[in-house]
């Protein structure tokens, strides 16, 4: 459910953004006839897209556990740009159109930034990394022992030593391809959750 709504939201945002972009270009290049034509062609599409963009956006906000500052700034930018855009296109005011377009671009950029930030947090998630890179030999509980893999539930090593083994290998264990941040996240997970 959440991911479907998120998809609809993203698609609506992209279409909304494209219409907005073309309208701004036409206005700035004094192509008034084309602008009027484009506006009448896209009127219904724009209405549908704006409604779905807002409704899905509201739904997504209610699903987010904590509202971050970034999200509030994004919302303010989006809501400030809409009335500006309406006035700008009505009065054919280029500067206003440009300002409102820049506000939307900034909001879009912020949304992208917070998404990338989320992805990098996920990448350094020790549990997931352990499951994908270590569990096939060591097992989810550390005791599997495939190919002579040590029992991690009884390891006596410190976090730094575990990181070192992950990044450089040890005896029968080859080094595992990951960044130091990721290795630290896995090592922490091993010592906190696998070690008894």
Nearest CA among 125, 191, 124, 192 for reference residue 158: 191
Which one among 17, 170, 191, 193 touches ligand HEC, defined by CB under 6 A?
A: 170
- DSSP string over 98-152: HHHHHHHHHHHHHHHHHHHHHHHHHHT-HHHHHHHHTHHHH-TTS---GGG---G
Which one among 27, 84, 88, 134 touches ligand HEC, defined by CB under 6 A?
A: 134
- DSSP string over 18-76: HHHHHHHHHHHTT-HHHHHHHHHHHHHHHHHHHHHHHHHHHHHHHH-SS--HHHHHHHH
138 binds ligand HEC (CB under 6 A): yes
Nearest CA among 120, 139, 133 for reference residue 177: 133
133 binds ligand HEC (CB under 6 A): yes
155 binds ligand HEC (CB under 6 A): yes
Instruction: State the number of CA atoms in the 13 A half-sphere of 4 facing the CB.
Output: 1
Nearer to ligand HEC, 46 or 188 (CB): 188
184 binds ligand HEC (CB under 6 A): no
Size of residue set near ligand HEC by CB under 6 A: 22
CB of 123 to ligand HEC, least distance (A): 13
Nearer to ligand HEC, 57 or 139 (CB): 139
60 binds ligand HEC (CB under 6 A): no
Residues in contact with ligand HEC by the rule CB under 6 A: 133-134, 136-138, 147-150, 152, 155, 157, 162, 165-166, 170-173, 176, 186, 190
């Amino acid at each position: 459910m959440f991911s479907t709504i998120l998809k609809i939201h993203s698609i609506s945002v992209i279409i909304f953004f494209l219409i907005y972009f073309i309208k701004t270009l036409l206005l700035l290049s004094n192509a008034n006839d084309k602008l009027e034509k484009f506006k009448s062609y896209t009127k219904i599409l724009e209405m549908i897209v704006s409604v779905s963009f807002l409704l899905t956006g509201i739904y997504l906000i209610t699903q987010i556990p904590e509202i971050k500052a970034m999200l509030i700034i994004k919302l303010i930018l989006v809501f400030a740009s809409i009335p500006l855009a309406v006035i700008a296109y009505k009065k054919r005011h280029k500067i206003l159109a440009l300002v409102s377009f820049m506000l939307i671009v900034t909001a879009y950029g912020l949304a992208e930034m917070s998404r990338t930030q989320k992805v990098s947090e996920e990448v350094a998630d020790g549990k997931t990394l352990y499951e994908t890179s270590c569990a096939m030999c060591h097992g989810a509980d550390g005791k599997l022992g495939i190919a002579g893999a040590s029992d991690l539930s009884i390891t006596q090593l410190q976090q730094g030593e575990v990181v070192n083994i992950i990044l450089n290998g040890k005896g029968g264990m080859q080094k595992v391809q990951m960044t130091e941040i990721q290795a630290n996240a896995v090592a922490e997970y091993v010592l906190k959750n696998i070690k008894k």
